[in-house]
Amino acid sequence: MKNLKVTFLSILIVCTMILAACGGNSNSASSSEKGSSGSGEGGKRTLRVSIGVNDKHPEYEAAMKFKELVEAESDDLKVEVYHSGQIADDRSAIEMLQFGSLDITIPSTSPLVNFVPEFGVFDLPFTIPNEEVADKVLDGPFGDKMLEMVDDQKLVGLAWWENGFRNLTNDVRPVATMEDVKGLKIRTMENEIHLDAWKALGANPTPMAFTELFTALQQGTIDGQENPYPTILLSKYPEVQKYVSNTSHVYTPFIFLFSKQIWEELSSDQQKIVKKAAVEAGKFNRERNRQVAEESLEKLKEEMTFTEIKEEEFGKFQEAVKPVIDKYKDKIGPEIVDQFLDEIEKAK
C-alpha cells in the first residue's frame, strides 16, 4: 500500500512539473500580477495602464477613451486600466515600465525628473501662464524633443496629457500672501525643484508619493498639499482640508509612457494604433480636464474657504522663487531651460 502511495505521489509531482514548464508563457499569474500579460486569451495581447488618480478623474476617463480607441482599431490588443495606484505609485510604475513588467503609465512629469532631469523644466514655477501656451509648447518642437528624451531610460514617450495648474490647499489658515505660507508643512511630489520652491516661499515642504497623500492629510502629519482643482475635489481633500488658494504656481503635464521593451515586441501596425490612440485620448483629456477644472473650482468654493490671491501678491511669489529657477537652470541644462522659456514667449 505504501509503495502505491509513493508511486502516485511521484507521478503527481512529475505531472505538476510538466504542466508548470508548459504553462511558463507570458500569461502566467506571476507576470500578469506584475502588470504585464503578454499574449492573453485568444492570442490578444493585454496592455495594462497604471494611473495614480481615481476613477472619477478626467485622466481615468481619458484612459478609458484610449482603451476604446485601441480596441476599436485592433483585433489583437486589449487594454486594462488600473486607477488609484492599484498596481504602483508613479515612480514604481515608471520603474516597472523600465523592467518590462508593466506596459503603460501616465504620470505627472515631476516624478520623471528622478530618471530624466531635463523634465525639471516643467516644474519651474510661474513659467507656463495658461493652457493655450501649454498646448503650443507641448504640441510643438519642444514637446516632441522632450518625448524623445525618455528613450535611453527604456521608455517610449507617446503623448502629452494634462494634469493642470497646481493650487495650494491647507488646514491651518487662508493663504492670501507669502506671509501666510510661512511654516506650513506642505507635501510636494518627489521632486527637488518643488521642494526648493516651497522652501523659498517660506513653507516646510516634504516629498511624498501621491498614493500616501490623503492619509497624511487625514492624520495631520502634513498641513497641506498642492494639486489641480479636479484632483483636489475628486480625491476628497475638502474632507481633510479647510482652505484653498488660486496659487496656479506650476502647470504639470501628464506624460503617456510605454515600456520600451514591450513596445519593441509590438508589430508596427500595433504601434501605430497605440500611438494614434494615445494622442487622440490626450486631446480628449485636455478638453475634459479644463471643463472639470472649472466645475471643480465652483464646487470647492462651496466646500472649502477659497482665497483669491491678488495680482500684486503674485509678484512677490515670483520674486521669491527666482533663485530656485536660477539654481535649477544649471542642473536641468541652460540650453533646455532657455529653449523652454523661448517657446513660452513665442507662444504667448
In the complex, least distance from residue 313 CB atom to ligand KDG, rounded to whole angstroms: 23
Query: Taking contact as CB under 6 A, which single stretch among the options 50-58, 95-103, 139-147, 295-303 is the one that binds ligand KDG?
Result: 50-58
Identify which of residues 161 and 284 has a Cβ nearer to ligand KDG in the complex.
161
Question: Which three cell numbers, joined as nine digits, stand for 183?
Answer: 511654516
Phi, psi of 52, rounded to the nearest 5 degrees: -90, -25
Length of the chain: 348
In the beta sheet, which residues pair with residue 169? 225, 244
In the complex, least distance from residue 6 CB atom to ligand KDG, rounded to whole angstroms: 54
CA distances from 104 to 48, 100, 185 (A): 6, 10, 33
Phi, psi of 347, rounded to the nearest 5 degrees: -80, -15
Q: b/e map of 264-289 (b: 16 or more CB within 10 Å)?
A: eebeeebeebbbebbbbbbbbbbebb
* By CB under 6 A, residue 285 contacts ligand KDG: no
> H or E element: which one contains 194?
helix 192-200
Are the C-beta atoms of 247 and 307 separated by less than 8 Å?
no
* By CB under 6 A, residue 186 contacts ligand KDG: no
Identify which of residues 210 and 328 has a Cβ nearer to ligand KDG in the complex.
210
* By CB under 6 A, residue 108 contacts ligand KDG: yes
* By CB under 6 A, residue 107 contacts ligand KDG: yes
Q: What is the DSSP string of 120-165?
A: GGGGSTT---SHHHHHHHHTSHHHHHHHHTTGGGTEEEEEEEEEEE
Among 231, 270, 285, 296, binds ligand KDG (CB under 6 A): 231
* By CB under 6 A, residue 317 contacts ligand KDG: no
In the complex, least distance from residue 210 CB atom to ligand KDG, rounded to whole angstroms: 3
* By CB under 6 A, residue 210 contacts ligand KDG: yes
For 148, counting Cβ atoms within 10 Å of its Cβ (0-12 exposed, 13-18 middle, 19+ buried), the class is exposed
Footprint (CB under 6 A) of ligand KDG, residues 71-90: 90
Q: b/e map of 19-38 (b: 16 or more CB within 10 Å)?
A: eeeeeeeeeeeebbebbbbb
Question: Which three cell numbers, joined as nine digits, stand for 282?
Answer: 490626450
Among 189, 200, 325, 344, binds ligand KDG (CB under 6 A): 189
* Integer Cα distance of 347 and 137 in angstroms: 7
Identify which of residues 49 and 337 has a Cβ nearer to ligand KDG in the complex.
49
Identify which of residues 229 and 273 has a Cβ nearer to ligand KDG in the complex.
229
* Integer Cα distance of 258 and 281 in angstroms: 15
* By CB under 6 A, residue 53 contacts ligand KDG: yes
* By CB under 6 A, residue 237 contacts ligand KDG: no
* By CB under 6 A, residue 119 contacts ligand KDG: no
Phi, psi of 74, rounded to the nearest 5 degrees: -120, 140
Among 45, 48, 49, 51, binds ligand KDG (CB under 6 A): 51
Residue nearest to ligand KDG (CB): 52
In the complex, least distance from residue 111 CB atom to ligand KDG, rounded to whole angstroms: 7
Among 35, 52, 205, 230, binds ligand KDG (CB under 6 A): 52
Q: How many residues bind ligand KDG (CB under 6 A)?
A: 12
Identify which of residues 74 and 231 has a Cβ nearer to ligand KDG in the complex.
231
In the complex, least distance from residue 252 CB atom to ligand KDG, rounded to whole angstroms: 6
List contacts with ligand KDG (CB under 6 A): 51-53, 90, 107-108, 163, 189, 210, 227, 231, 252
